[in-house]
Amino acid sequence: MQIGQLIAEKAASDTPFVSLEFFPPAAEEQLPAFYETVEALRALDPLFVSVTYGAGGARQYNTLAATAELARRGFTTMAHLTCVGAEPERIADFLGQLRAAGVDNILALRGDPPKDSVWDWESGHFRHAADLVRFVRTTQPEMGIAVAAYPAPHPESPSYRLDRQYTAAKLQAGADFAVTQLFFDAREYAALVESLHAHGVSAPVIPGIFSIQSFESFRRVLSLCGASIPAKFYLALEEAHHKGGNAAVRETGLAFAVEQIRQLLALGAPGIHLYTLNKAQLCLQIARETGLAKTA
């Protein structure tokens, strides 16, 4: 079933939902623990689950296998799909394998070029995520399509204005909804939705939430995604790190994520997409404290 339709049904009932993002393990021996985490999070009754896709198409098979298994287990699934460096035949083949496995939704991403290579963005069939959206909508019209959105601009975008135009273009190309990159200021989400409305786009935008686990990983993530952070929150994390190490940072990050979710739901967000980090107890606690899953 297309996830966009499920989101519309939830919106009609005015019921916020939770969805989950997993990353497939790289090693086969890690699979049992991975699926234990997945099953523990079934208690959240997620509207859908997504599975990440490596940069430049790395570990594509892991994504396909994990997404197919989650579909077999009864979850509504969405596979991430990057198009950088890909030719239409490979994308069409991957889409066919997904549909054969009962996976009817993708998150269409441009992706990053392979590391340690000189990359020409003008070459190749797919230059932008919007190109992938149009291809999928034409070749697999029954497939649900989501795209990424950035409350703060993508690191390569020169301005908020252009970044919002690019996001609108992806949705106008045929995507059903958007999932945001991580961010730490609810006002950025509100501004993003307002800007899309000004472009004539009313598709749902699902905020993606990331709970900080350590000061080091936090700094690494910020360097990769370009998200901005309120100074007060940064100082709180820094103080927690000095006083109590990563355990204190996790507590500070959790409290912030819970408050951020409450703010986003108050702003009208239709649901929350949790970057699970493949950590069941973290997500269950967030759900309990925000009321997203009464049975968690």
Active site residues: 21
DSSP 196-231: HHHTT----EEPEE-----HHHHHHHHHHH-----H
Decide if 106 contacts 144 (C-beta within 8 A): yes
Bridge partners of residue 109, in order along the sequence:
82
Sign (positive/negative) of CA torsion 179, 180, 186, 190? Answer: negative
Q: Which two tokens stand for residue 89?
A: 């035949």
Helices 186-198 and 231-266 meet at what angle, rounded to 10? 50
CB atoms within 10 A of CB 123: 8
Compute CA distances 92 → 126, 137, 201, 272, whole Å.
Answer: 13, 11, 28, 30
Token pair for residue 87? 């030719």
